């Protein structure tokens, strides 16, 4: 590490976040991201990393995508954040574009937050208003954000710390892929909404069982609960369709998109709302106020993101990348069958499973040393989140696989002991 | 179609947007090319055959459409050209292998074909579909991905045709994205495609400006120059046969092929007979006043009058204000000199043929050289003679890489009516500031990795008879968690959807091929 970097890390601890800064040093990941371009990150000491973390799809189209930078720059010649009180050109144009591309014909309106967490809060408030019920059902180890309501739907790790966990029995959590538990939670008909990540991200992308999500939707209909699709990580073409829920035939009542929709340049969160649950927008349109929500610069970027991800070439390339990565990863898995034990995949949403309860952490470390940045799943550290970008080139995919093969081998030796026998192909 | 999204901030003309558009299309092509390299020869040829059959079936539809959209040429002739560039192209190269390694035991060298990768193909307005068919099939036979950029004047027909061929390819099992089209080509957008590092080679057929720009793109380019073929009729020739071939060639698709004869040169001994023979075949020999009218009409300050491209002789005469018999096939304009001062000695993509009588053979050769010095260097020339010495003197003299002998030049130089390689891209070589001097074929889209063993006789050469070449075919479809597998049915195990043609047996296929070959022969004979 350079003296400059060492000095910087000290300052980071002093002025920004001592705990988080130190945690990374403890995990032997001394990354300080400086320059970034496309799917490359450059550490402040100049080392290049291929980014497969992408912050939950925030950088789906790459870092500083030139077309998005151009549209943001051009937008500043006309717009700023805007005045959230008034009808606004960009906010309405984006709403129109989102409604047109929504996964359900019932979706009629879009409300805005300044990011994903706020958007989830808006979605939950909307559901409560529409249903006139308070209870929200979510999945154990779900992750929907850290704001007031969103944090209560997730793991207590993030709420108890701040004495913000649910204490009134309004937030119920059921295990993923367990339809009986879901039905038990719903059958009193006192639930306003079920909120589902189409594929739970922070939990390491466990895949829904065939038929699970449609069955949940059916249960919602049977027991008068609304279905909120959290498409923050599965949306925007990562699964090969614009919205992941469409892949499973789900037409949600409310849908949330964030992260990637801002193109990594201007944060924005969007709540797509069905007419049948949009009551508050008629009754009291000032009901939710957000000065930064739906900032018009963000709306302009988001419209471009929406247009770009839907280009037929992008959709087709996503499929090829996912097939190519799968084939390559299966070869690597065959090489280390005692350690690399599973691939969870739907399109470019991928989780690599390791045969150790913290297995993804050493893999992350060795990938980092070998020029690839991918992060472990916070709520299931056996699983490495593996998220290639929508526009990742053939060359870079090959580079990734080459480096991943080396990194996993080193991690395996660290975890299982280098003495144990490796299978040679 | 890209989704319609109301843009408040328009950036589509910015360099960033154009570059990004080009990159996304080209990267999809790069992916296709990398998957294509997993295909073996049988599968590759199956795809090329399937696409060729579809192209053949659509020849008439696109011929009509091209004439309607561009206003150039004769639909029946375009149909023929579209057919010639479909099944016959694949048949012509059927015995050549661009996929398996070649083992040279004597030299202890193994040559492994390596496809270029991504071909950016620029196509002209004059032969839009024939060029599309031709370049697509060349790409498929060599396992390259291709992105076609149609000439704006023939945009709609080309976009439709490329999409039809792309669908046929995918239906036959080709990798997704191996054939793409730039739907809205503009000059700045094409420049981004040409200069992108994701483009492996630019295959440029069209006007000089476009070809030069391809060569300036910083990428490897195969560009071709304009033609301006001289044709020499030697007194030893069968004059009436020569006249008939020349008239048929000039009237074929109304001279829209760049290989058409531009200036006829003959000697006093043959002059009278030749003029009569030309008249008999449907030529109108213009008088001085008519010639002057044509000279003024065909050439503007800016150059050739594009309104006349591919128009028929009677239409052009009428535009110039004189009448010719309705069956007139070509207009012949006698000229005294060849060179900058005589506009009619330049290239004319219409059925107007300049006619010059030289005093002697030496002068005739000098005049033929002068035609090509004016324009068309490295392109084509023709001669009609029974004298081998004259033939070789002529061929050694003119700066053209193909000299057609006793055959119509339009078709002959392009490999139809001669045994030259059939092509719709004529390499004009160093004379014509191009990298390749022969008719462009699949061999130009592949380079070879040469494995060379130690030449010392004591070192043995390897046995390459039972080698795994990694022909694993399409990538298996990755599972989509939560959905039954496979979802799309494009996995290697899934049966490949076959087109209606794909299911016909070998015998029917041979019959079909026979039928097509005969059709083409008849059509060409009819014009001879």
Q: What is the pLDDT of residues B400-433, one digit of tens each?
A: 999 999 999 999 999 989 999 988 889 999 999 8
> Do B192 and B304 have their domain in common?
no
Kindly state whether residue B197 falls inside one of the protein's structural domains. yes
Q: Which two tokens stand for residue A90?
A: 């960009």
Beta-bridge mates of residue B229: B261
Query: Is B493's Cβ below 8 Å from some Cβ in A?
Result: no
Kindly state whether residue B83 falls inside one of the protein's structural domains. yes
- CATH classification at residue B36: 3.40.605.10
Of B363, B394, B412, the residue at which a domain comes to its end is B412
Domain A67-309, CATH number (from 3.40.50.300, 3.40.640.10, 3.40.190.10, 3.40.50.2300):
3.40.640.10
Average pLDDT, chain A: 96
> Do B300 and B208 have their domain in common?
no
> Residue ranges per domain, chain A?
31-64+312-416, 67-309
Report whether pLDDT(B509) > 90: no
Report whether pLDDT(A422) > 70: no
pLDDT band at B493 (very low <50, low <70, confident <90, very high): very low
* Closest chain B residue to A79, measured at CA: B9
pLDDT at B306: 87
Task: Tell me if residue B409 is catalytic.
Answer: no
Report whether pLDDT(A376) > 60: yes
Q: Which of B351, B365, B338, B408 is nearest to B234 (CA)?
A: B365
pLDDT at B517: 54
Does the distance separating the beta carbons of A313 and B180 come in below 8 Å?
Answer: yes
Q: Cα(A345)–Cα(B335) distance, rounded to whole angstroms?
A: 74
pLDDT at B266: 98
Residue among B158, B258, B286, B409 flagged as catalytic: B258
> Do B240 and B203 have their domain in common?
no
- Model-wide pTM > 0.80: yes
Q: Which residues of A touch B7 (CB under 8 A)?
A: 93, 303-304, 307
> Do B238 and B150 have their domain in common?
no
Report whether pLDDT(A229) > 80: yes
- The CA R_g of chain B, rounded to the nearest whole Å, is 25
User: Taking residues B448-467, what's their average pLDDT?
Assistant: 94
Does the distance separating the beta carbons of A199 and B482 come in below 8 Å?
Answer: yes
pLDDT band at B515 (very low <50, low <70, confident <90, very high): low
pLDDT tens-digit series, residues B214-241: 999 999 999 888 899 999 999 999 999 9
pLDDT band at B125 (very low <50, low <70, confident <90, very high): confident
Kindly state whether residue B41 falls inside one of the protein's structural domains. yes
Q: Cα(B120)–Cα(B147) distance, rounded to whole angstroms?
A: 5
Is residue A153 left, alpha or beta, with left meaning phi > 0 and alpha meaning psi from -120 to 50?
Answer: alpha
Kindly state whether residue B168 falls inside one of the protein's structural domains. yes
CA distances for A283 relative to A126, A255, A286, A391, angstroms:
12, 21, 9, 43
> Do B369 and B345 have their domain in common?
yes
Q: Pick from A67, A322, A345: which is nearest to B20 by CB?
A: A67
pLDDT tens-digit series, residues B163-189: 999 999 999 999 999 999 999 999 999
Asked if B446 contacts B142 with a C-beta cutoff of 8 angstroms, the reply is yes
ipTM tops 0.90: yes
Q: Cα(B86)–Cα(B59) distance, rounded to whole angstroms?
A: 9
Average pLDDT, chain B: 90
Q: Cα(A114)–Cα(B276) distance, rounded to whole angstroms?
A: 86
CATH architecture of A31-64+312-416: Alpha-Beta Complex (3.90)
Place of tokens 């090969």: A240
> Do B217 and B256 have their domain in common?
no
Kindly state whether residue B360 falls inside one of the protein's structural domains. yes
pLDDT at A419: 60
The answer to whether A31-64+312-416 and A67-309 have equal CATH topology is no
Q: Which two tokens stand for residue A173?
A: 């959590």
> Do B219 and B241 have their domain in common?
no
> Do B54 and B153 have their domain in common?
yes
Query: Could you list the residue range(s) of the whole structural domain that residue B240 is in?
Result: 229-412
User: How many structural domains comprise chain B?
Assistant: 2
- CATH classification at residue B270: 3.40.309.10
> Do B136 and B216 have their domain in common?
yes
Kindly state whether residue B120 falls inside one of the protein's structural domains. yes
> Do B236 and B153 have their domain in common?
no
pLDDT at B519: 52
**pLDDT over 70 percentage in chain A:** 98
pLDDT tens-digit series, residues A130-153: 999 999 999 999 999 999 999 999
User: Taking residues B339-359, what's their average pLDDT?
Assistant: 95
> Do B192 and B268 have their domain in common?
no
Q: Which residues of A touch B177 (CB under 8 A)?
A: 313, 316-317, 320
Q: Which residues of A touch B483 (CB under 8 A)?
A: 210, 247-248, 346
Kindly state whether residue B480 falls inside one of the protein's structural domains. no
Report whether pLDDT(A423) > 70: no
**Please, what's the b/e burial string for B288-311 (b: 16 or more CB within 10 A of its CB; e: otherwise)?**
eebbebbbebbbeeeebbeebbbb
pLDDT band at B522 (very low <50, low <70, confident <90, very high): low
Q: Is B524 exposed, middle or buried (0-12, 13-18, 19+ CB in 10 A)?
A: middle
> Do B216 and B243 have their domain in common?
no
Kindly state whether residue B418 falls inside one of the protein's structural domains. no
Q: Which residues of A touch B8 (CB under 8 A)?
A: 75, 78-79, 89-90, 93, 300, 303
DSSP A113-142: ESSHHHHHHHHHHHHHHHHT--EEEEETT-
């Amino acid at each position: 590490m350079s003296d400059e970097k060492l000095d910087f890390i000290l300052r980071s601890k002093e002025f920004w976040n001592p705990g988080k800064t130190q945690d990374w040093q403890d995990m032997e990941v001394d990354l300080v991201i400086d320059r970034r371009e496309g799917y490359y990150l450059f550490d402040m000491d100049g080392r290049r990393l291929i980014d497969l973390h992408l912050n939950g799809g925030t950088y789906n189209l790459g870092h500083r995508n030139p077309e998005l930078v151009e549209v943001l720059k051009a937008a500043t010649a006309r717009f700023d954040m805007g005045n959230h009180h008034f009808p606004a050109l960009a906010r309405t144009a984006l709403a129109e574009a989102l409604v047109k591309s929504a996964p359900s014909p019932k979706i009629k309106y879009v409300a805005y937050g300044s990011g994903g967490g706020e958007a989830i809060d808006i979605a939950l408030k909307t559901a409560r208003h529409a249903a006139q019920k308070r209870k929200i059902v979510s999945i154990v180890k779900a992750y929907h954000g850290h704001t007031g309501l969103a944090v209560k739907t997730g793991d207590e790790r993030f709420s108890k710390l701040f004495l913000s966990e649910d204490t009134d029995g309004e937030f119920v959590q059921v295990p993923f892929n367990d339809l009986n538990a879901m039905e038990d939670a719903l059958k009193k008909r006192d639930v306003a909404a079920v909120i589902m990540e189409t594929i739970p991200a922070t939990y390491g992308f466990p895949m829904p069982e065939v038929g699970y999500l449609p069955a949940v939707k059916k249960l919602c209909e049977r027991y008068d609960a609304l279905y909120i699709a959290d498409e923050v990580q599965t949306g925007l073409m990562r699964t090969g369709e614009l919205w992941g829920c469409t892949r499973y035939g789900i037409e949600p009542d409310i849908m949330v998109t964030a992260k990637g929709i801002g193109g990594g340049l201007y944060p924005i969160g969007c709540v797509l709302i069905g007419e049948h649950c949009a009551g508050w927008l008629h009754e009291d349109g000032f009901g939710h106020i957000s000065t930064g929500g739906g900032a018009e610069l963000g709306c302009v970027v988001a419209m471009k993101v929406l247009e770009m991800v839907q280009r037929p070439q992008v959709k087709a390339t996503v499929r090829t990348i996912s097939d190519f990565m799968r084939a390559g990863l299966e070869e690597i898995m065959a090489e280390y069958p005692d350690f690399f034990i599973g691939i969870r995949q739907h399109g470019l949403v991928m989780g690599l499973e390791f045969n150790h309860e913290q297995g993804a952490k050493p893999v992350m470390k060795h990938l980092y040393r070998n020029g690839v940045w991918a992060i472990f799943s916070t709520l299931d550290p056996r699983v490495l989140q593996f998220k290639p970008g929508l526009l990742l080139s053939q060359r870079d995919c090959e580079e990734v696989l080459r480096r991943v093969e080396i990194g996993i081998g080193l991690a395996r030796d660290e975890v299982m002991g280098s003495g144990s026998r490796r299978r040679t192909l | 179609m890209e989704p319609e999204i109301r843009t408040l901030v328009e950036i589509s003309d910015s360099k960033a947007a154009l570059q990004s558009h080009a990159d996304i299309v080209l990267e999809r092509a790069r992916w296709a090319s990398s998957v294509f390299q997993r295909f073996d020869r049988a599968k590759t040829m199956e795809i090329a055959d399937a696409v060729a059959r579809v192209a053949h079936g659509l020849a008439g539809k696109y011929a009509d459409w091209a004439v309607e959209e561009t206003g150039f040429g004769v639909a029946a002739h375009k149909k023929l050209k579209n057919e010639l560039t479909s099944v016959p192209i694949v048949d012509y190269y059927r015995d050549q292998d661009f996929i398996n390694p070649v083992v040279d035991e004597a030299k202890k060298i193994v040559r492994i074909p390596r496809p270029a990768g991504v071909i950016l193909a620029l196509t002209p307005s004059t032969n839009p579909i024939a060029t599309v068919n031709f370049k697509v099939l060349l790409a498929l036979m060599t396992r390259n991905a291709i992105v076609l950029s149609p000439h704006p004047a023939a945009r709609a027909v080309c976009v439709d045709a490329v999409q039809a061929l792309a669908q046929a390819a995918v239906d036959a099992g080709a990798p997704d994205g191996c054939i793409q089209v730039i739907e809205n080509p503009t000059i700045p957008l094409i420049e981004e495609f040409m200069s992108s590092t994701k483009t492996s080679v630019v295959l440029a057929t069209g006007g000089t400006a476009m070809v030069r720009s391809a060569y300036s793109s910083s990428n490897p380019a195969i560009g071709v120059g304009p033609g301006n073929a001289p044709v020499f009729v030697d007194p030893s020739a069968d004059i009436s046969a020569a006249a008939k071939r020349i008239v048929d060639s000039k009237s074929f698709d109304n001279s829209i092929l760049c290989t058409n004869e531009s200036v006829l040169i003959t000697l006093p001994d043959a002059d009278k007979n030749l003029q009569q023979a030309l008249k008999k075949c449907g030529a109108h020999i213009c008088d001085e006043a008519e010639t002057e009218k044509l000279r003024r009409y065909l050439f503007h300050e800016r150059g050739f009058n594009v309104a006349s491209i591919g128009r028929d002789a009677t239409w052009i005469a009428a535009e110039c204000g004189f009448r010719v018999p309705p069956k007139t096939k070509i207009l012949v304009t006698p000229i005294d000199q060849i060179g900058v001062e005589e506009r009619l000695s330049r290239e004319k993509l219409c059925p107007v043929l300049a006619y010059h009588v030289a005093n002697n053979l030496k002068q005739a050769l000098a005049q033929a050289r002068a035609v090509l010095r004016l324009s068309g260097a490295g392109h084509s020339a023709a001669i009609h003679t029974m004298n081998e010495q004259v033939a070789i003197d002529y061929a050694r003299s003119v700066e053209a890489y193909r000299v057609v002998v006793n055959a119509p030049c339009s078709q002959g130089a392009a490999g139809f009516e001669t045994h030259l390689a059939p092509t719709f891209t004529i390499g004009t070589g160093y004379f014509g500031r191009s990298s390749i001097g022969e008719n462009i074929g699949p061999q130009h889209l592949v380079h070879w990795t040469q494995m060379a063993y130690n030449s010392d006789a004591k070192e043995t050469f390897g046995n390459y008879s039972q080698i795994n070449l990694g022909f694993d075919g399409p990538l298996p479809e990755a599972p989509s968690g939560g959905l039954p597998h496979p979802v799309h049915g494009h996995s290697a195990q899934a049966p490949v959807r076959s087109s209606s043609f794909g299911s016909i047996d070998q015998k029917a296929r041979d019959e079909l091929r026979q039928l097509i070959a005969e059709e083409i022969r008849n059509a060409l004979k009819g014009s001879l």
